[in-house]
Structure 1
Amino acid sequence: MSQNIAKQTEEIVKPIVEELSLELVDVVYEKEGPNWFLRVYIDKENGVDIEECGIVSERLSEVLDEKDPIEGAYFLEVSSPGVERPLKKELDFEKNVGKNVYVKLYEPIAGDKEFTGELIGIENQIVTIAYRDKTKTKKVEIPYEKIAKAHLAVMF
């Protein structure tokens, strides 16, 4: 149900975001405690500001009230994906080559299900990451379909 609502919302918000020359990063409909949240993440080249989030929120809210695809009460949040932006599409990986990423897999590769390191690239649906293993830098090639979750990683 929640994925269906997220998909419906994505179709509704996409034209609003495109009209404002913004990128739709993700739409999530999830329950936290007793409350439901519809979260829409938007971005652009140098980041979005609170005013842009407010405009998208207002326009989306109007259309959601009109079409009413969600039963019951929920909170609508429109924001930037932040510094640990999720990587959902192959294009997200392509645009972030050279940056640090965290990747969680459905099943282990080389004995691990989680990798944090530099995104070397994506080619033929294979994501390559250079990561530190004790004192050595190693590379791992991950088939795109084995990625359960991925986002940019802040390294300290």
Structure 2
Amino acid sequence: MSGNELQSLKEMLEYNSKHLSPTVVVKIILDIAIAIKSLHSNMIVHGNIGTHAILLITSHKEQQATALLSEFSHMHRLQLFTGSKQNETISQLMCKDINGLVSLTEALSLYCQIDKNRPLNDSEVASQGDVNYDDWELALESLDLGLVPNLALSYICE
């Protein structure tokens, strides 16, 4: 992983990382949605989706990032039963992951709103290149339009 950095999303948000470009913010949600869908298709519930449980591998050269789920201490391996009561519980556990993804989307949406209004200093302009207000606006719209609902529609989550 030469030239790459590993950091939690929580740390990146706290320190206003230059790696969190509009494209990366949207990709984080997509990566985590794919991870959740993969877990659920294998009857695994993460149980603790949040900024602390997401690791980002960032590339200094390419200004890209890959989001990975971590922190599996609340994970559940599910068994599908024929009784409706057990299946309700499975649905509720899966919904907890989806609700975590919704909360994550809201947090990143708020980050987009804050960051698009923050003036960049000279070093940030040099490192971010042509990232501007319109890029942040597009990222915000993508998050607001709901990258999450397509995944959430397959569950009945409240």
TM-score category by the smaller chain?
Answer: under 0.3
Structure ranking higher in strand proportion: 1
Q: Does 1 or 2 have the higher relative contact order (CA < 8 Å, sep 6+)? A: 2
TM-score (structure 2 length as normaliser) = 0.25
Structure ranking higher in helix proportion: 2
